[in-house]
Structure 1
Amino acid sequence: MMMVRSAYDKKKDDIHFEYWQRCRYLPEDKLIALLDHDNFKLSLEAAASLQLRGGSKIIRLAQMDSFSNRYKRRVLAAFILGQIKLNAKEEKISLKILYDLALNDQSAIVRSYAVSSFGHRCEKAKKKYADTLLSLAQSTVLDKSVMVRVNTAFALSVFKNRASIPLLIKLLKDTHSEVKNWAAFAVNVNNYDTPEIRNCFVLLLDEKNFEARFEAIIGLAKRQDKRVTQILIHELSQERIYDEMVEVTAYLGDVSLLPTLYQVKDKFGTFKELNTSIKVLEHLKSKL
């Protein structure tokens, strides 16, 4: 079942749309002026418009702003350099700038955006900068800022490289739930699997943060780790359930989940994921 959007989330989306509408048709010089606006979210939307439009002038501005004595302009510079279209020379310079900001900037928010943008650049280049990203992440997994560690987990998610696993395990053991959430996402999206990863996921089953717990449940089920069976039974007995949790019961392959799936069918009716999982588990049961 789909998660109901909160009034807070809807308000955020409405504000974002308002700022997007405000910026979309502005000329370049007006957008550049908005980079100094007191409202950071509006400045960020202006930066997003500049990033999308691209061009050598905006690239040079972002590269220069990365050395600004105003941290907000360094944040926006790091953001712009993350996904703006660059030629080979511009990319080489921009990656060095982002690397240095991620490691050395005094502002945690600048470091955070720089790590995220470095990840985006690596995603665009596939595995070209894998070694450089891993080198950067060796330091940023230990950053005192939660958001830097969160964005490190994101950056490690952008392409599959098993050398990332030790770093992601560190992040799975982080003290902050949002870091663990993104680390679990990175593990799942790249289908990494080791005994230590599974053990970390088992510990995440007790997380208060639903997103981190969700990633652990899905991850353990897809890895056919039956330590998640009772948790799945509990989650599928709630008033609100999630399609993904129904779907992964087929991966888990534990026929003891069948009575729970029948209850889901009685309560919510049939749907694709449920029908498939029931069919798979009934077939497995027939072979016992």
Structure 2
Amino acid sequence: MSRPEHGEEGSTEALIQMALAGDEDDERAWEAIWALRRRGTREVLDAAIQLLGDSSAKARGRGADVLGQLGAGRPVFSAERGDALLDLLRREKEPKVLLSAGVALGHLVEPRALTELIGLASHPSAEARCGAVHGLAVLDAPEAVEALIQLSTDEDRDVRDWATFGLGSLREESDTPRLRDALAARLGDVDPEIASEALVGLATRQDPRAVEPVRAALSGHSVTVYALEAAAALGDPDFYPLLLAIRDEGGPADSYFLRVLNDVIARFE
């Protein structure tokens, strides 16, 4: 079987077989999945839906992986994809497949999955809960926010991370005392990335509990883009000299960090 060039060659069946080969992170398998997504035809839709009924958990998961972004950004067969993924979510038992289904529903932004995703949020498997958080993070419903608040305290690092990101950045229009308290609780998270995401979320909502942590982050030895974004969101003029000191220090930094830093400084000038 020849390898498809940039995902444009090979039959649908050949690409399906390539997607089923290797382990979960196999590079060639994901090339095939992306080729199928870009193709976005009825033939690919039918083939992916057929995979959802396969006896192999891997095949069911790959089917969900294809369906979630079928069309590669173009809205193709949305209702049929939603129907198929909802059916999978309701009958599936394998955590890895539930993860793929939840992620796929998140890409699809399927409000009909709200009840099932809330139920999935209490699944004993962290993989399944991670699927739930992906699906819930994009849904505009108070129940989804409440489930994300609960998931932001999850024992699993990835679940907490995505829930905090969902509350802090994906739901900027949501601003309640309970949501802010959930973000504030994550400021002390043992994972620095989760704490930073919570900080940006609080700063975006102009919560005063973000001021001192931002000041400390800007004064630290290793300043992150998160700290810069939080400083920009708060707009406290006391941050300006700290930002200038970071620039003038001239330490090692990548081009993206420097671009963000200069953009934030410009906002204060």
Note closer, same or farther for the CA distance 1:97–1:226 as it changes in structure 2 (3 Å cut). Answer: same
| Paired position in structure 1 for 2:178 | 196
Q: CA deviation at 1:23?
A: 4.7
Q: CA deviation at 1:262?
A: 4.2
Aligned partners of 1:103 and 1:111 also within 8 Å: no
| Paired position in structure 1 for 2:190 | 208
Aligned partners of 2:48 and 2:66 also within 8 Å: yes
What are the within-5 Å matches in structure 2 for residues 133-148 of structure 1? 133-148=113-128
| Paired position in structure 2 for 1:119 | 106
What TM-score, normalized to structure 1? 0.76
Aligned partners of 2:64 and 2:100 also within 8 Å: yes
| Paired position in structure 2 for 1:69 | 55
1:154 aligned counterpart, secondary structure? helix
Note closer, same or farther for the CA distance 1:20–1:81 as it changes in structure 2 (3 Å cut). Answer: same
What are the within-5 Å matches in structure 2 for residues 13-28 of structure 1? 23-28=7-12
1:110 aligns with 2:97: yes
Equivalent residue letter for 1:261: L
1:275 aligns with 2:266: yes
What are the within-5 Å matches in structure 2 for residues 115-264 of structure 1? 115-122=102-109, 129-130=110-111, 132-187=112-167, 188-191=169-172, 192-264=174-246
Note closer, same or farther for the CA distance 1:21–1:264 as it changes in structure 2 (3 Å cut). Answer: same
* Aligned-pair identity (%): 23
Equivalent residue letter for 1:38: G
Equivalent residue letter for 2:95: A
1:205 aligned counterpart, secondary structure? helix
Note closer, same or farther for the CA distance 1:39–1:171 as it changes in structure 2 (3 Å cut). Answer: closer
Deviates more, 1:79-88 or 1:204-213: 79-88
For the pair shown, which has the larger CA radius of gyration, 1 or 2? 1
Q: CA deviation at 1:68?
A: 0.7
What TM-score, normalized to structure 2? 0.81
Aligned partners of 2:89 and 2:101 also within 8 Å: yes
| Paired position in structure 2 for 1:96 | 83
Which whole-Å deviations, capped at 9, do the CAs of 1:90-126 have from their partners, x for residues lacking one?
544432331232243121111111111112222xxxx
Aligned partners of 1:261 and 1:274 also within 8 Å: yes
**Structure 1 regions of 5+ residues with no counterpart?**
1-18, 123-128, 280-288
Q: CA deviation at 1:71?
A: 1.0
Tell me how large the CA RMSD over aligned residues is: 2.8
1:53 aligns with 2:33: no
Q: Count residues with an aligned counterpart.
A: 252
| Paired position in structure 1 for 2:29 | 43
**Partners in 2 of 1:149 and 1:22 — Cα distance?**
33
**Structure 2 regions of 5+ residues with no counterpart?**
251-257
**Partners in 2 of 1:35 and 1:249 — Cα distance?**
43
